[in-house]
Structure 1
Amino acid sequence: MDNIDFALLGIFAADDVNKRTELVLGQKKLIHYCSADTALKIIRNREIWLRNVRVMNDYMEVNHGFNLIRKSLQPPVDTVIETGMNEVKKALDVIHAGIADEAFSRFQTWSPYIQYETYVTCLSEHLDDEDEDGRLSMWRNYSSGQAGVGIVINTSMFARTDDALGVYSSPVTYLSDKALENSLMQVAQRIRVQAAFLSTVPREALIGHFFLLLRTISHCSKHPGFKEEREWRIFHTLGMDEPKILKLTSES
Structure 2
Amino acid sequence: MTTALIADDEPLLRGALAQMLAQAWPELQVVAQARNGREAIKQFDALQPDVCFLDVHMPGVSGVEVAHHIGRRAHVVFVTAYDKYAVQAFAQGVLDYLVKPVEAERLADTVARLKERLSAAQPASNSETLLRELAAQLERRAAPAPLRWIRAQVGQTLRLIPVDDVDYLRSEAKYTRIAWRGEAGQACEALISTSLKELVAQLDAEQFVQVHRSTVVNLRAISHVTRGDHETATVHLRNRQEQLPVSRSYLHLFRQM
- Same-fold status (TM-score > 0.5): no
Larger gyration radius, structure 1 or structure 2? 2
- What TM-score bracket applies, with the shorter chain setting the length? under 0.3
Output the TM-score relative to the length of structure 1: 0.20
Q: Which has the higher strand share?
A: 2
